[in-house]
Amino acid sequence: MASQLALFPGMVPIEAVEAPVAPEPHVEAEPGPAPLSTPQMGLFDAQVRRLRAAIHAVEIADLPSAIWLLQELTPEFDPVVPSMRQRVAELHAELERVHTLPLPVQVAAHLELGRPLAAEGDPWSSLGRALIARAAADLGPAEGVLAARLLMEAGELERARSVLLVIPGPRNAGALFALGDVEFALDDRSAARRHYRDALLRDPFDAAFDGVADEDVRGLPYVAEFEVEVDGAPRAWCAPVGIVAGILPRPRGLCEQLPMPADAPADRSVLLARARQFVDALVCAASPDVQKSRDGLLDTRRSMKRASAPLFTWYLARQILTR
């Protein structure tokens, strides 16, 4: 094409013609935010600190302080401020109403308010746990186990343990099961299982047994019923079955002096007494003197067989397997 155009004077080859460059469209930039002045930055920091203080006040259930702090914050600073301020005010009004009620009703009302809040995100979950702990604090000395359970629910494990350890009089099975759950939550399984064992030796029929935190301990009635096939109610045999299975620790001393539950039916008392006899024979069989005496060892085994022949057979089978 260029050679043909060259035949015609005055014509310029196409390659020599430069296409005009289109100018870039002019776009006006939006003005950015003006930098904060030193006084403005100080005001912003003060608002941040105030919001943090308000959230902390909600977490510890100091709602009057939270309301006062939130009143000085504007929606322009944080859009959640109005809804948070309204909810805190409503909760504060409800708690003020609760405080006019009789104390037992206050306990129930704090739990009714606190438990749904505890299932939310912070700061409401912390507020809910604080209200559950407040309900526990309002309970009397006679309700120490319930107070400890509520403190556990609130996440205050050390306080729960302290409450259980100062319960007056000998600890019943419910208190011991609760102590076991506290130690289990504190990741001390050895201590927990000592408490579980003592509770089972006192009263394996206590309702608290159905909800213990340790699944292996909670499953002992099934082991007693389907693996050992002990006579009578399998729950009565949970302590000796757990000890033979290695789930519960062997007691250091004899347990036959433990008090029987005051309201236990006669048939349960008989079963529990036999289960304790089996454990006492287990303790005797482990003593060095009996281990050295063939007659002494035979006597302890006769005691175990009299208490429960199926469990004694299971014990011998496990002894052979674990040697």
The token duo for 288 is 């060095």
- 144 or 253: which carries more pLDDT confidence? 144
Q: How many CB atoms lie within 10 A of CB 154?
A: 22
Residues 118 and 125: beta-carbon distance below 8 Å: yes
Q: Looking at residue 122, what DSSP letter applies?
A: T
Taking the C-alpha atoms of residue 55 and residue 65, their distance in angstroms, rounded to an integer, is 10
Q: 109-145 pLDDT, tens per residue? A: 999 999 999 999 989 999 999 999 999 999 988 899 9
The token duo for 234 is 């399998």
Q: Looking at residue 12, what DSSP letter applies?
A: -
Q: Which of 234, 220, 247, 239 lies closest to 318 in space, CA to CA?
A: 247
CB within 8 Å of 77: residues ≥ 6 apart: 44, 47, 51
Q: E-assigned strands of 261-316?
A: none
Q: Which of 172, 169, 189 lies closest to 180 in space, CA to CA?
A: 189
The token duo for 123 is 């700061």
Q: How many CB atoms lie within 10 A of CB 269?
A: 13
Taking the C-alpha atoms of residue 275 and residue 204, their distance in angstroms, rounded to an integer, is 11
Helix H, strand E, coil C: the string for 148-205 is HHHHHHCCCHHHHHHHHHCCCCCCCHHHHHHHHHHHHHCCCHHHHHHHHHHHHHHCCC
Tell me: pLDDT of 12 over 50.
no
Question: Structure pTM?
Answer: 0.80
Tell me: pLDDT of 190 over 70.
yes
**Residue 174 phi, psi dihedral angles, 5° rounding:** -60, -40
Q: What is the pLDDT of residue 205?
A: 94
* Domain assignments of the chain as residue spans, ordered by start: 213-323
Q: Determine if residue 7 is left, alpha or beta; phi over 0 gives left, psi from -120 to 50 gives alpha, anything else beta.
A: alpha
Burial class (CB in 10 A: 0-12, 13-18, 19+), 129: buried
The number of helices, as runs of H, and strands, as runs of E, in the chain is: 17, 0
pLDDT level of residue 5 (50, 70, 90 thresholds)? very low
Q: 268-315 pLDDT, tens per residue? A: 889 999 999 999 999 988 888 777 788 878 888 899 999 999 999 999
Q: What is the pLDDT of residue 15?
A: 47
Token pair 């109610």 in the structure block, residue = 233
| Across 53-67, 69-83, 267-281, least confident range | 69-83
Q: What is the pLDDT of residue 277?
A: 93
CB within 8 Å of 92: residues ≥ 6 apart: 63, 64, 67
- 115 or 22: which carries more pLDDT confidence? 115
pLDDT level of residue 321 (50, 70, 90 thresholds)? low
Q: How many CB atoms lie within 10 A of CB 120?
A: 12
Residues 115 and 123: beta-carbon distance below 8 Å: no
Q: 209-223 pLDDT, tens per residue? A: 999 999 999 999 999
